[in-house]
Structure formats: structure tokens, C-alpha cells
Structure 1
Amino acid sequence: MSELPGVDPGQAVGHDPRAQQALDGAAVVLRPVVRWLLRRGVHYGALTQLLKQVFLAEARNELQRKGTKVTDSALSVLSGVHRKDVRALSNEALPTAPLVPTPASVLFTRWVTDTRFRDPVTHKVVTCLPRHGEAPSFESLARETSSDVHPRTLLEELQRLGVVTVEGEQVCLSTERFVSRPEDESAAQTLAVNAADHLAAAVHNLAVGQQGFKFLEQSVYANGLSEDSGLKLAAVARDLWAPAFDGMVAAATECVRADNAREDTPYRMRFGVYYYHEPVPPKGAPGKPDGSSKLV
């Protein structure tokens, strides 16, 4: 059987305006990704090779979703990847990032959200726990959140991240938010899974009909702002996140406990909030919106 010719990228969109819209949108989405890659020393060639694997993986999923037999030819036609590359990459594993949080972040979240660690009068988080002993203590909390990692190891990791300090025989919180250090592998993994799930929600919403279930995916946009206003709104966003975080953790914990005895529990979820601001280039700068003031 003769080989199928490779697809000319310049003709991949054809005359379908929806395809061109998707490609234009992908260019916007990819800009911060490419910025990140360049700053990490990743060149164009490495990304194109990875994109072949991504296209093939998603093409396989799409064929299976439609009930179509998955063959090299079908994968090549749908993805535009040449058949010789389909065969060559068939056994290549696509990189993945862990979907579950680290033991350190699980412990931190339990500490700042579980009512057992709230002051009974003020309802504020108890910021210091005894290092050892029975509950409530850091040791007991560490053992209940992770059976695989020793409490001392968890404490050292939280100290390294600057999340807790040890003051005598007590372990004390030093921050209200758990954030990985930029140089840590977990920071890149967190970026990947958060951004991927955000995009997955948006892509799903574009694909379902008017009556189909749609995920929450909303934002507020404003420009014509000073730098001071941008920083002020960043603080507002953090303040708004705190009750949303507490409420969702409480609801998710209740659902996990309620579903614990069930066997039909294949679903996972992620709920997040982001905030971003930047100076807008002068009107007419390539790839950027105009600078007229607006709130949407």
C-alpha cells in the first residue's frame, strides 16, 4: 500500500472558517506557552516533535469517541501527521503531569480548611500546632494525610517551601497560601494541570450544544488602568479566592466522604481562580488588542 502524503500545514485549515478561528485562537493561547519554553531553553524543533505526539494522542481519543477503528491511516488523515511518523511514534509515551496534589499540599490544605483546626470562638485557623503527640498535632495531621511519607519528611518539605516554621516544640504556619517555588518541578506540573483543565473546560463548552452541560468558565476584563489599580485588583482577587477556596474544599470533602462507599466514582475535578495584569502596548501593536478603556 502506498504511503499517504504529508499534509501541507498551509492548507490544513482549508476553507472552513471555524478551523481558521481555532487556529487563530491557538496562536493566542500558545504565546505564553512559547514564552515559557524559550525561557527554559526549549527550541522550536523540540516543540514540533512533541506536537506530533499530542496530535496523535488526541486523534486517537477522537476516533475512539466516535467509535471509529483506530488505524495508522485513520490517525494520519485526522491528525495530518505522516504515516511513517505515526508508526515511529506509536510506542512513544506522551509526557504527563501528576493529577493529584503533593502530600505537602494536601497537609497544608487540610490544616487551613478543616474545622478541627479552627478556633472555636473566632473560627480562625489555628496557626500553631504541637509538633508531636496526639491530635491535634502536626504529627497526627501528617499521618492522617499521608501514609507513605514520614511526618519529619513532610515537615522538612514544608519548611523548604517557606510554608511553616518550627518554634520550639510547635509547628507554625507562615503563609495563608500554598505556592511551590518557581524552580521546583512541582511548579511546572501545577502550571500544566491547571492551565490544561482551564482550557479543557473552555474547549468542552465550545463543543456542546445549547442544551448540553457547560462548565463554569468566566472572567472579568478591564483596561485603561494604572499600575496601582492593577496591584489593587490583584489583592481584591486574592481576597475573593479565600472564601471560594474554603467553600469548595468543604463541599469536595463532603462529596468524597459520601462517595467513599460507592464503586461508580471515575470522576475527578479541579476548581481554580486566576488573576493577571500587564501593560497594554500602543494601539496597532501586533498580536495585542487596542488600548481603549473598557470593562467587560
Structure 2
Amino acid sequence: MKKTPTNPLHQALFRILRPLARLLLRNGIPFGEFAELVKRAYVEAALEDFSGGRRKPTDSRAAVMTGLTRKEVKRQREILAGENPVRETTTHANRASRVVSGWVHDEAFQARDGAPALLPFEGSLSFSELVKQYSGDVPPRAVLDELVRVGVASVDSDSGLIQLRQRAYVPAGDSEEMLQIFGEDVSDLIATIDYNLVSSEAGQQPLFQRTLTYDNIPPEIMDRWRAHAAAQSQALLEQLDKWLGPHDRGIAGNGNGNHTGEPVRTGVSIFYFEDPVQAGRDE
């Protein structure tokens, strides 16, 4: 296939869109549906991110910026006014994840050594009380079943006490929740890269962004490397969580401090990748 000359941004976009297209096709999303979402994202970005400290851009200015008609801008703006899935998914943490976080960091649900305590299902300082405090009106049995299903918690068959086996909730085999995580993780990564691209011009320090990559690794060591990378990454995330988690205002005892200003969403993402090196492939 003849290569089409393109600028660096186009090359970067194609690399982003190529695996995205694979995911969309696998989930039966046709191009027209994807294009509709792209229009919406363009309109929201024009209206929200390019005001320059002034009033929001008019539909006419947003049309000039995006290349869409004023009619299309107005239609997408009206859709956004009634439904904003981006803002909703980035501000409401998964309920099961909040339960695990409370179990790890709330002293009321810790053992004397500071580890997550073994909890009875009901009663004072129980799993049901933990769920009520950190997951609202969701039935405690439903939360427990989910945590047991993914291996985060287990129930002792003799005592009935519930043990936290992992310090983080990651859904398994649940496409809806995994797709939500996909949206959040990719959005966060692109936002960090975008910030770093303009940070020097704005006189700001770049956000931490590093990648370890080798492209000539023998396949026979890959099993050991996957296990080692997973163990080290999990250990680092647990260490960072131990530092940052207790500062969360949602953890009991932290909401009544002398905090000022709006809360900040922050974190660190680690992801593993591997890909067979193909001769002649565009890089």
C-alpha cells in the first residue's frame, strides 16, 4: 500500500484511532454513530475550552472553529445540555471501588495493625455498615457478591467473616464497567499529553509522563516479564494509594477539616503493553 504523506499530528491520530476502530467494530459501532459522537465532542470542546476567559463562544464562533454548520452546533449543544456522559462518568467513582477504598483507609474498618479488618456481614462496624457509608443505598449483599465474584473479597465458611483479599476493585468479565474504565483511562492519558504539549508555552511544569519501551525482547522471557511488571506495578499503586487515599474527603474523618476550594480529581495510571514487532510497519 502506498503511504500517504501526512503531518505528525495526523500520524499520531491514526495510531490512536486504529485500535479504537478495532474496538468499535468489535462492538458493532458503525462509522456514522462514531462520527456523531465526534461532532458532539468538537462542539463541547469549542464551547467549554476555548472561551479565553470570556463568555462562552457563540454558536457562530463554534461553527467556525469546528467546521460544522451553526444548525449542527445548535443541535449538538442542545443534546449536551440534556445529557453529558463525559462529566457524569468522571465525577462518580464506581460504588464497589468506593467500598474497597473505605475498607482500606477508614480507621473504623481497620484492624489494630492498620490492615483492613475481617468484617461480619451485619451489626456494628460490619460490611453492611461499610457499604451504607460508602455506597449509599446499594444492597450490601449485591456489593459482596460482586467483590467475591472478582476475587477482591472472600467469606470464611466457618466464621462467616468477610476478608478483603485485594486493595483495589477491578471488574472482571463486565463489559459495561470495563468500557467505562477504558473511557476514563484513555481520556486521562490524552488530557495529560495535551497539557504537556502546551505547558512550556504557558510557563507551567509538565505533568509526570513516562514510558518504558524495548522492541527486541526474546519471547521466552515474556511470561516472567508479565508477572514481574504486574507485581511491581501493583506494589507501586498500593504505595501511592496508602499516601493519597487518607486525604480523600469521602473517607470518614477527612470531610470536616479546614479544606478550601473545589476538590481535585487526581491519580496515577499504569498500563502494560506488548505488541509483536512487524517488519515495515509504520512507527
TM-score scaled by length of structure 2: 0.81
2:171 to 180, 187, 192: 180
CA contact (8 A) 2:96 2:143 kept: yes
Deviations 1:55-95 (A, max 9, x none): 11111123313536511221111111122311232201253
Q: CA deviation at 1:41?
A: 0.6
Instruction: Structure 2 unaligned segments of length 5 or more: list them.
Output: 1-5, 249-253
CA contact (8 A) 2:24 2:30 kept: yes
| Farther-moved stretch of structure 1 (180-189 vs 38-47) | 180-189
Deviations 1:214-238 (A, max 9, x none): 1111110011123343332222222
Cα distance in 2, alignment partners of residues 105 and 158 from structure 1: 9
Q: Percent of counterpart pairs with the same letter? A: 23
* CA spacing shift, 1:284–1:245, aligned 2, 3 Å: same
2:155 aligns to what SS in structure 1?
Answer: strand
1:146 to 135, 141, 149: 135
Cα distance in 2, alignment partners of residues 33 and 229 from structure 1: 29
- Residue 111 of structure 1: aligned partner: 103
Cα distance in 2, alignment partners of residues 59 and 233 from structure 1: 44
- Residue 262 of structure 1: aligned partner: 259
| 1:272 partnered with 2:269 | yes
- Residue 84 of structure 1: aligned partner: 71
Q: CA deviation at 1:53?
A: 0.9
Q: CA deviation at 1:152?
A: 2.4
Letter in 1 for 2:49: E
Pairing 1:1-296 to 2, within 5 Å after superposition: 20-65=7-52, 67=54, 70-93=57-80, 94-96=84-86, 98-99=89-90, 100-112=92-104, 117=110, 120=113, 128-135=118-125, 137-168=126-157, 169-173=160-164, 175=166, 177-209=168-200, 211-256=203-248, 257=254, 260-281=257-278, 283-285=279-281, 287=282, 289=283
Q: State how many pairs are aligned.
A: 264
CA contact (8 A) 1:119 1:125 kept: no
Q: CA deviation at 1:134?
A: 3.1
CA contact (8 A) 1:230 1:277 kept: no
CA contact (8 A) 1:113 1:249 kept: no
Letter in 2 for 1:82: T
TM-score scaled by length of structure 1: 0.77
* CA spacing shift, 1:117–1:185, aligned 2, 3 Å: same
CA contact (8 A) 1:112 1:125 kept: yes
Cα distance in 2, alignment partners of residues 222 and 119 from structure 1: 44
Deviations 1:79-113 (A, max 9, x none): 11122311232201253252232221122234356
Deviations 1:227-275 (A, max 9, x none): 3433322222222223322232232234333884324124211221111
- What's the RMSD between the two structures over aligned residues? 2.7
* CA spacing shift, 1:228–1:107, aligned 2, 3 Å: farther
* CA spacing shift, 1:175–1:63, aligned 2, 3 Å: closer
| Farther-moved stretch of structure 1 (212-221 vs 106-115) | 106-115
Cα distance in 2, alignment partners of residues 272 and 104 from structure 1: 19
